[in-house]
Amino acid sequence: MARVWDVPVVELPRFIARLVRSSTGLAIIALAFLANAFVTALADGEAAAVRIALVAGVAAANVAAYFLAFVTLTPALRRRRDVLPGATLGGVGFTALTVLGTNLVQHQLRNASNTYGAFASVIGVVTYLLLLATVTLYAAELNPVLARRLWPRPLAGSVGHPARRKPTTPRPRNDNGPNPSGPGPFRGGSGI
């Protein structure tokens, strides 16, 4: 999260603090997975109204889990509400992927053979984790973009992208005549 929020290296916490912070974030994510599995098992075979209520409750719990994980993992967070949009996107996306993935697996693999079913299950889990990681990355990138109004913004890893660079001083406006850099077709001169 420090890279997503562009925290300078000198402001990063020490190794032990980062290790504790990362372990806490991992525990929050693990508890969210366990809670989703438990509630999904409870919802199996229930009436539609009960399933909808359980999915809504799981979505709210997932938003809370993403919020806690983002607050825990972000080292230089000024306001906690800055991570709420990403937590909402991540929690709702996590719930949607889980519900859709569970329904798809139950429907598609019901009559599959043992070999095909095992292979399809592995491919399905890998695809689920890939999509979940993508949703989480988008959710994490959404927070600093909205908090600092940094759009357009590339995904993490595009360090040299112009949208990542922060201006140190505002550019002076020159509305009272030609540009002092000289004549030219795009500098206010005659272009000769």
> For residues 7 and 22, what is the distance between their CA atoms, to the nearest angstrom?
16
Whole-angstrom Cα Rg for the chain = 24
pLDDT digits (tens, 9 = 90+) for 129-156: 999 999 999 999 998 888 888 776 566 6
Most confident of 1-15, 21-35, 168-182: 21-35
**Cα–Cα distance, 3 to 12 (Å, whole number):** 10
Does a structural domain hold residue 50? yes
Q: For the chain, how many structural domains are there in total?
A: 1
Domain extent, residue 48, equals 9-157
Among the residue ranges 46-50, 65-69, 75-79, 159-163, the one predicted with the least confidence is: 159-163
pLDDT range class, residue 192, cuts 50, 70, 90: low
- State the maximum Cα–Cα separation within the chain, in Å, rounded to a whole number: 80
- Give domain status of residue 20, yes or no: yes
**Euclidean distance between CA atoms 17 and 106, whole angstroms:** 42
Tell which wins on pLDDT, 118 or 155.
118
Q: What does the pLDDT average to over 8-16?
A: 82
- The predicted-structure confidence for 59-83, as pLDDT tens digits, reads as follows 999 999 999 999 988 887 788 888 9
Residue 1 lies in a domain: no
For residue 80, being part of any structural domain is answered with yes
In a domain, 63, yes or no: yes
Q: Is residue 43 part of a domain?
A: yes
Evaluate whether residue 189 is within a structural domain: no
pTM here? 0.70
